[in-house]
Structure 1
Amino acid sequence: MATTNDIKNGSTLRLDGGVLWNVLEFQHVKPGKGGAFVRTKLKNVVTGKIVDKTFNAGTKVEFANVDRSDMEYLYHDGESFIFMDTQTFDQIPVSETVVGDAKGFLLENTTVTVATHEGDPLYIEMPAAVELEITQTDPGVQGDRSTGGTKPATVQTGATIQVPLFITTGERVKVDTRTGDYLGRVN
């Protein structure tokens, strides 16, 4: 069994009766008075809920064995997303709840990292940015404003993002997969 001194960003802990939590941030704190402690920000791998939790330094914690592997997204069969391991060519179904908001930026043949625990997919990690084609957007109308405006645009995956007024239907843009923000045109 490990201690709180072994906690690192990205590690997965098993707390509160077997619930899995990802460590988003951690900080060892040694105040002038009293004992040291570890302040963490944890994300529940099933629900996505983020909580702050403080541990006394040296407290025993249980780490969960989470396997991360690069997989290629193949297709959506109506119920789940099918991914193929790029090393073994094994195909696994991943439910829509596990994929979450990433489905709005997931194109066929995109390589992502799939984290599994005891064979069950926990979450997927998308690349930081993807290139998508604008399938529908209204023409931008210039008005009286001092800063650049934005308008909604639908991309080829069906997601709606905000783009600058000069973007037209058919253009390719770069989109941040974490926030859904427009990053720029792609030539």
Structure 2
Amino acid sequence: MASTADFKNGLVLNIDGQLWQILEFQHVKPGKGPAFVRTKMKNVLSGKIVDKTWNAGVKVETATVDRRDMTYLYNDGSDYVFMDGDTFDQISISPETLGDGARFLLENMTVQVSTHEGKPLSVELPVTVELEVTQTDPGLQGDRSTGGTKPATLETGTEVQVPLFINTGDKLKIDSRDGSYLGRVNS
């Protein structure tokens, strides 16, 4: 159990059997009336974000979430298999739990896996990933009708928009949160 005074970003609460992670919180002490805490929380499983106000001093049940660095091994056709580098335990994670991050996942990539009572909740990729361009059309000098970008297919099969000067075989730095091009990596 935790009091509203113990709230901090990232704390996971168990409310009515569902897990909610605190994204933001603010203690408010109005001139008139009792103090309260405003929170913005995200449902760990569904991703739904809600605002909730708590009276100061209220006790709330916390959930134990284990965050571990794990290595992505392979896709067995339906699930993604990860291994804990310390214990060598392997767990399978569904594409629904992995979410959009699967687009940038390479074998032997280290990610952070959050679990609650042995059940995988989420997978956090590094903010930037380095991927090689496997196919892109050559950029034509003077072609600015598309705003100076063209589609490129990465080694994971994901397509992203890149500047015209990028060629097949270039290694790029990509933001794993939104798939945007950040720059070229010098080999």
TM-score interval (norm. to shorter): over 0.9
Q: Provide the residue aligned with 2:149 in structure 1.
A: 150
Residue 144 of structure 1 deviates from its aligned partner by 5.1
* Closer, same or farther: CA 140–67 of 1 in aligned 2, 3 Å: same
- Give the counterpart letter for 2:33 in structure 1: G
Residue 106 of structure 1 deviates from its aligned partner by 0.7
Q: Provide the residue aligned with 2:21 in structure 1.
A: 22
Q: Does 1:13 align with 2:8?
A: no
Q: Does 1:97 align with 2:96?
A: yes
Q: Provide the residue aligned with 2:133 in structure 1.
A: 134
Gaps of 5+ in 2: none
3-state SS of paired residue (2:61): strand
Segment of structure 1 superposing worse, 21-30 or 77-86: 21-30
3-state SS of paired residue (2:99): helix
The two structures have a TM-score, normalised by structure 1, of 0.93
Give me the whole-angstrom Cα distance separating, in 2, the residues matched to 1:33 and 1:136: 64
3-state SS of paired residue (2:98): helix
Residue 148 of structure 1 deviates from its aligned partner by 5.7
3-state SS of paired residue (2:96): helix
Post-superposition Cα deviations, 1:57-103, rounded to whole Å, max 9, x if no partner, equal 21221110111111000000011100000110111111111100000
Give me the whole-angstrom Cα distance separating, in 1, the residues matched to 2:147 and 2:32: 52
* Closer, same or farther: CA 6–132 of 1 in aligned 2, 3 Å: same
Note the 1:15-94 alignment, pairs <5 A.
Answer: 15=15, 17-94=16-93
Residue 36 of structure 1 deviates from its aligned partner by 1.8
3-state SS of paired residue (1:63): coil
Give me the whole-angstrom Cα distance separating, in 1, the residues matched to 2:144 and 2:113: 47
Residue 34 of structure 1 deviates from its aligned partner by 2.2
Give me the whole-angstrom Cα distance separating, in 1, the residues matched to 2:153 and 2:62: 41
Give me the whole-angstrom Cα distance separating, in 1, the residues matched to 2:137 and 2:121: 38
Q: Provide the residue aligned with 2:3 in structure 1.
A: 3
* Closer, same or farther: CA 144–111 of 1 in aligned 2, 3 Å: closer
Number of residue pairs the alignment of both structures matches: 185
- Give the counterpart letter for 1:115 in structure 2: S
The two structures have a TM-score, normalised by structure 2, of 0.93
Post-superposition Cα deviations, 1:84-132, rounded to whole Å, max 9, x if no partner, equal 0011011111111110000011110011111110100000111111100
Give me the whole-angstrom Cα distance separating, in 2, the residues matched to 1:166 and 1:31: 56
3-state SS of paired residue (1:98): helix
- Give the counterpart letter for 2:184 in structure 1: R
Question: Could you tell me the percent identity over the aligned residues?
Answer: 65
Gaps of 5+ in 1: none
Give me the whole-angstrom Cα distance separating, in 2, the residues matched to 1:114 and 1:75: 15
- Give the counterpart letter for 1:172 in structure 2: K
Q: Provide the residue aligned with 1:119 in structure 2.
A: 118
